[in-house]
Amino acid sequence: MILLGVLTAAITVSSVLGLSLKWRDGLVYTVALFTSEIAAFNRFWRFRVFWSNLLMLLVLHLLGLVIVLSMWSAPFGVPKLVWSSALLAEVLVLAIVLWKQMERSKRQRSED
């Protein structure tokens, strides 16, 4: 339910800002990706290492997104099948990275 509300807000904001279709899709994609990761890892919210890792992943994601969308020249933006496939792949990759980072942090805390 939260994801739906956040996505609606992202679509509204992108429309108000007058973003082109590819940038609007990129904003919605980013919001969907990180909202789902934050919701899935809610048990780690109290750990600073979770938020710092998430911020690092967000910066890398945005850098890659800007590079890809800057080079994309199709008049109708990126096909939704490409967005969907990329979203599934990136959700899995980010989940694995976050999980491994949290497990490593947990081991370090237990050793201290």
pLDDT score at 20: 86
Q: Model confidence over 52-95: pLDDT tens digits?
A: 999 999 999 999 999 999 998 877 778 889 999 999 999 999 99
Give the contacts of 102 (CB within 8 A, at least 6 positions apart).
Answer: 41, 44, 47, 49, 50, 53
Q: Give mean pLDDT, residues 28-53.
A: 93
Q: Give mean pLDDT, residues 85-106.
A: 94
Return the domain boundaries, the chain. Answer: 2-111
84: left (phi over 0), alpha (psi -120 to 50) or beta: alpha
In sequence order, what E strands does 1-112 have?
A: none
